[in-house]
Chains A and B, each alone.
Chain A
Amino acid sequence: AQSVTQLGSHVSVSEGALVLLRCNYSSSVPPYLFWYVQYPNQGLQLLLKYTSAATLVKGINDFEAEFKKSETSFHLTKPSAHMSDAAEYFCAVRGGGYQKVTFGTGTKLQVIP
């Protein structure tokens, strides 16, 4: 079984401030973890993924995430928010050997000028 919990359905940050979006996962097997971004009325775009290599994963647009097995977390960060980062972000987990990806309920990021 696998699941994802995203803490905070809405997060607001000022432009230029640190972005932190929280994700905790549960998986009965070593997981693959993903962060996707979704702009209004569009599909999902992959930001970054963890596949058991380096625990600190760098993605597009200066986003990064750190896999912490002891905390079962995979939080997404960005040092400085930009107005174009306003979107909905989804954390997702896939148990190794399984094809089904389970998504969290999403966090809407608002960037305040």
Chain B
Amino acid sequence: DTGVSQDPRHKITKRGQNVTFRCDPISEHNRLYWYRQTLGQGPEFLTYFQNEAQLEKSRLLSDRFSAERPKGSFSTLEIQRTEQGDSAMYLCASSLGVDQETQYFGPGTRLLVL
């Protein structure tokens, strides 16, 4: 068990560019979550997947954001036409998907939009 991994760990981009982040969950976990954390705040839920199905999306997830989990394993989060307000830590978590389940978090991807 290697834990949840995320790539890249840091990303600096210019406003208007597109960025894509990757999350690899713990191998036997069928649920995968994306959160966003801004300075001084707790993580905020963005979306989650049960296997390859995206089952819930937060209102925080604007049309510029899209997440996929094509084969029910790794997931990608893409932000199109980035804005300075997108600067944040993007956290991925995974869980087994049973009752009383615990979400295990990756190290996060820190995005800075200039």
Give the Cβ gap from A43 to chain B, nearest Cβ, in Å. 4
What is the number of residues of chain A that contact chain B, defined by CB distance less than 8 Å?
Answer: 24
- Decide if A44 touches B41 in the complex (CB within 8 Å): no
Interface size class of B (residues with CB under 8 A): 20 to 34
The reply on B44 being an interface residue by CB < 8 A is yes
Sampled A-B contacts (13; CB under 8 Å): A41-B107, A41-B108, A43-B6, A45-B105, A46-B102, A51-B100, A92-B42, A99-B56, A100-B48, A100-B56, A105-B41, A106-B40, A106-B41
- In Å, the complex CA distance between A103 and B45 comes to 9
**Chain B, range 51-71, C-beta contacts under 8 Å to A:** 55-56, 58
Q: In the complex the two chains form, is B102's CB within 8 Å of A42's CB?
A: no
State the CA gap A44–B90 with chains docked (Å). 12
Q: Is the CB of B43 within 8 A of A105?
A: no
- Which residue of chain A lies nearest to B50 when distances are taken between CB atoms in the complex? A99
Please measure, in the bound complex, the distance between the C-alpha atom of A12 and the C-alpha atom of B73, giving whole angstroms: 42
Residues of A within 8 A of B58 (CB): 100
Q: From B4, B42, B44, B48, give the contact of A43 (CB < 8 A).
A: B4
